[in-house]
Amino acid sequence: MADEWNETTDALTAQNDVPAEAPLKNLFCGAGYHSIDDKNRVKFPSEIRSQLARTPFRLAKGTNRVVYVYPEDTARAKLKEVGKLLESGSLDLRTVKKLRKYVASFTTPVEVDAQERFILPQWIMDWANLSKKDQIVTIGFIDHFEIWKAEDYKAYEEDDGDDDDISYEEALASIKVY
């Protein structure tokens, strides 16, 4: 099993091997509301557009039906980290299989057109419960950005993201940022 995972991660990281401690090339911050057009295309928010500078990127299934958008080099580093965890022997076989399928099978490279738009594949649209003309929110998440259905993001914010039982204030205080 470890050999299979190594082949997958080796193939993904062969062209651009990124050390685990590499500094962030992109820092994604900000948020914006946008819509999906008739062809499932999304235009990068201006806040993110300047940060990407034509960097190849990948879409991935996140949690809570949120689409994660990673620059290619960050995606490769993340996949390598997951590979190391799966090889560590600390997880049972069922969990390893589930994670391998979830992580490697559900990431996809995306191409950006001349108008700085990209197409959300139909399987991502279905999984994230998005439809054409839906209002979406893109939010920076430091090393990647996220695409939320606007109504889901609003509900999450109103609940203060309470699925983790910690407020933003407590989280910030714990790392002494503010």
How far apart, in Å, are the Cα atoms of 133 and each of 30, 139, 153, 161?
22, 19, 16, 26
Q: Has residue 13 got a pLDDT over 50?
A: no
Cα separation, 9 vs 78, whole angstroms: 10
42: left (phi over 0), alpha (psi -120 to 50) or beta: beta
Reference 120, options 43, 48, 40; nearest CA is: 40
Which is more confidently placed, 106 or 83?
83
Q: Which of 59-63, 92-96, 129-133, 161-165 has the lowest mean pLDDT?
A: 161-165
- Confidence (pTM): 0.71
Per-residue pLDDT of 49-92, as tens digits, reads 666 666 788 888 888 889 998 888 888 888 888 788 888 888 78
Q: Has residue 17 got a pLDDT over 50?
A: no
Which is more confidently placed, 137 or 112?
137
Domains defined for the chain, CATH in brackets: 2-175 (3.40.1550.20)
